[in-house]
Amino acid sequence: MQSDGSREAGGRVAISAGITLVVGLGVSGRAICRHLARQGVPFMVADTRSAPPGLDDFHAAHPEVAVHLGPLTELDLAEVAEVVLSPGVDPATPGLEGLAEARNPATGEPRLVGEIALFRRACTASVAAITGANAKSTVTTLLGEMAREAGVRVAVGGNLGTPALDLLAETPDAELFVLELSSFQLETTPWLAAETAAFLNLSEDHLDRHGDMAGYRAAKLAIFRGARHGVVNAEDPLTWPAAPLPALDRFTTAAPGPGEWGIARRDGRDWLMHGETPLLAAGTMRLAGRHNQANALAALAMGTRLGLPLAAMRTVLERFPGLPHRGETVAVRDGVRWINDSKGTNVGATLAAIAGLGPTLEGRLVLLAGGVGKGADFTPLAEPLARYGREAILFGADAPRLAAALEGRVAVTRVADLGAAMGRARTVARPGDCVLLSPACASLDQFPNYQARGDAFRRWLEQHLGEAADGKERRA
């Protein structure tokens, strides 16, 4: 254990009065330390691990800062000014008991906060914040691109990419911060006061941290504290704020009601709509699928609140291909769309991709799936593939288990590897079809990670479709 050499009190390491304690030396924890150093705030660091990664680099950057390694119960926090948690540290960690409810008697501020609380104190620009169990990275990126297209000086990060506190230092002239925020970040954010805040969806996740769905939802709902405008999912009441907001917009994949954002049929085509006003033909989006149309509607609702011109937002939706390996349109050739959803490493993610894409296709779905299934039940894939699938092309260690779950509901072909699967897909796909790599499995039998698997998908298209592997329609 390292310590700051401060006095011992009752066998525990006492922290001097007025010191801020940073708990956790991960990416966000180091960003917190850099911020406090810039602000001239005296602090020390604690990490429950005996040798956290990057410790030597931290000592080099902050040689004067004391570090405690080991259980937090070894610290006496009676005099500490504030405890700032990294998102990866559970507020219920032994040694932090009672701090979540405690307040600093001098300032009235909570004694336990997270990085976003520090960000909000220091930030004077507008904030747009996005959370949800899924799709928050896509909406965050879309909104950031829309702001850039409109000429706004924007910084994008948070749980996605650059930590929020580093954004403050790197882009001091930003007019707008667009932040993806996780439940871990939000549960230690007493007041966010976003100009616009979106809660996209809620599904079971992180229950080991939050206890149950009610706890998970409560953490997410912190995004609306002080918000001037909210965006919620009309089809998911769990995303709705517990208390009224000054303004609230709802999005849906159905025809919208008055003032809602939704999808309606006009002249034989699906349109993104605001009430009765058509905004963009859904088929002109590079992002494919109903789920991504919902993401676009959420971004449009937020962008409209921020005053972004519709023309700029349309331009982004017409060119944005998706985030790498997350439903990314890599190529369109001879009427066939090729989508890289390599991050679909479990059955739930692949189900979401199929359900989002299937209803929007003129043709059918050719699914590329397989790898290490980790004992998952693949049978839920059978029904949607019976409805939307042309063929399931299976590879990797658990191809036999996948085949057993799908045979009789959709045509099944087993091949040796991803390259063979793509060759088969090129043979069977017809105009209007979509070839979807969404494996429902981990990649570790044939690839080091899902990114490498997605990169192999792209390389095959570059080699076999040449310049068409850029997501734009071309014909041979």
Pick from 398, 344, 327, 388: nearest CA to 363: 388
Between CA 276 and CA 263 the distance in angstroms is 10
Q: Is 340 an annotated catalytic residue?
A: no
Say if CB 390 and CB 433 are below 8 A apart. Answer: yes
3-state SS, residue 232: strand
Q: Is 159 an annotated catalytic residue?
A: yes
The helix, strand and coil proportions of the chain, stated in percent and rounded to the nearest 5, come to: 35, 25, 40
Stated length of the chain: 476
Pick from 319, 171, 196: nearest CA to 247: 196
Cβ atoms < 10 Å from Cβ of 423: 13
Which residue in 35, 62, 68, 136 is the catalytic one?
136
Lookup result for tokens 């998970």: 216
Say if CB 468 and CB 333 are below 8 A apart. Answer: yes
3-state SS, residue 169: helix
Q: Compute the C-alpha angle 273/181/318, nearest 5°.
A: 35
For 213, 378, 402, 421, the CA distances from 396, given in Å and listed in that order, are 34, 14, 10, 10
Amino acid at site 91: P
Between CA 11 and CA 76 the distance in angstroms is 9
DSSP letters for 98-118: TTTT-B-TTT--BSEEEHHHH
Say if CB 406 and CB 430 are below 8 A apart. Answer: no
Q: Is 220 an annotated catalytic residue?
A: no
Pick from 203, 285, 196: nearest CA to 249: 196
Tokens of 116: 């976003």
Which residue in 134, 206, 449, 464 is the catalytic one?
206
Which residue in 35, 62, 68, 159 is the catalytic one?
159
3-state SS, residue 301: helix
Pick from 18, 54, 41, 62: nearest CA to 121: 41
- The continuous run of DSSP H or E covering 91 comes out as none
Give me the active site residues, please.
136, 159, 206
